Amino acid sequence: MVNRFCKCYHHLAGKPDAAANFYNDRFIPTHWALNYFKLSECWGVSLMGCCKDCGGELEEIISLPNGLTGDALFQAIYDIVQTVHPYDVKSDALGYYGRCKERSEFYKRRDNRKQSRRSKEFLELFNDWDREAARLWLEKHFPPEKHTEVFRDTGGSLFSTVVRMAQDNGDFGKAGAILDYYLPCEHEGSTRERVKLTAYEFDFVPILNYGCEGIYIDCYLKGKFDESGRSSIHVGTLKTLRRDLECAQIMGELCGSLMHHAFEYVNRGENLHRYTPAKQLEAEYQRQLEQAGKADNDE
């Protein structure tokens, strides 16, 4: 379904099949995207691209079947991204062909990608809140093939996971009733910075304070969480509109829970592996190969 037009389109509008013909001639896809606030309300996958003539942004949306959730939803999104090829025909003999060469080349490149690249791009489609569920789905269906291939968390996805762990543990009992919202930082303002966490020498630090309209818990990572040289990033916020003592005490207790669950999560063996710096993973992998080689020689 055509969802966007560039400036070249106006003189064609209104003619039968104009939109489809227009896209057929000019649409060059560049990447896939999901635009949603709640994943359960996501109804389509976007193929983003540009106009061959003016370079303007174009978007084709491929609808998802209604009512999918959990694994079935991830599978449907994955299948669309890997196989659908709007406006081109695919034949066994010729590969992709259609009215726009650049588009056929995009589909061909897509089909030639390695699994590790497919998995990483799939993970990038999701908001921080859903990144963990998408990662678990990937690890189940397309487990990484090498010691060095890991699916990283982002600052916002770590925050989301920690909030979910606290909820599952019943720690939101009192806070749940007074909270106005809790959001990973990617939802704030226009910046969608997503810091991938590639080191584990950091603390998860919830900071409790009065804000302009209530009490806020601002969660930060402090220490070494990637290779950027920064030592502090904001990853998410929980907020209540009340300002009284009882409320301050409840929010304080919640800070303790969040700190605890973050520590438990990051230091769990399989997660620690995903937070290990790339260089260290590479060194560990080389050692494993050498050991395996030695074992072969000994036989």
* Minimum separation from the CB atom of position 35 to Zn ion (A): 21
* Minimum separation from the CB atom of position 19 to Zn ion (A): 13
Nearer to Zn ion by Cβ, of 20 and 259: the residue is: 20
Rounded distance between C-alpha atoms, residue 40 and residue 70, angstroms = 9
57 near Zn ion, judged by CB under 5 A = no
Which secondary structure element, helix H or strand E, spans residue 203, and what is its range? strand 201-211
Rounded distance between C-alpha atoms, residue 239 and residue 208, angstroms = 10
- Tell me the CA distances in angstroms from 2 to 5, 43, 63, 100, 211, one per residue in order: 8, 14, 11, 17, 43
Q: Which of 2, 3, 8, 224 binds Zn ion (CB under 5 A)?
A: 8
> What three-state secondary structure class fits 280?
helix
6 near Zn ion, judged by CB under 5 A = yes
- Tell me the CA distances in angstroms from 241 to 184, 186, 260, one per residue in order: 18, 21, 25
In this chain, which stretch among 54-62, 106-114, 178-186, 280-288 interacts with Zn ion, using CB under 5 A? 54-62
64 near Zn ion, judged by CB under 5 A = no
How big is the site for Zn ion, counted in residues (CB under 5 A)?
6
β partners of residue 63: 44
Q: Which of 40, 43, 53, 169 binds Zn ion (CB under 5 A)?
A: 53
* Minimum separation from the CB atom of position 172 to Zn ion (A): 49
Tokens for 120, please give them.
């990483």
Q: Which of 39, 50, 51, 217 binds Zn ion (CB under 5 A)?
A: 51
Applying CB under 5 A, the residues found at the interface with Zn ion are 6, 8, 51, 53-54, 56
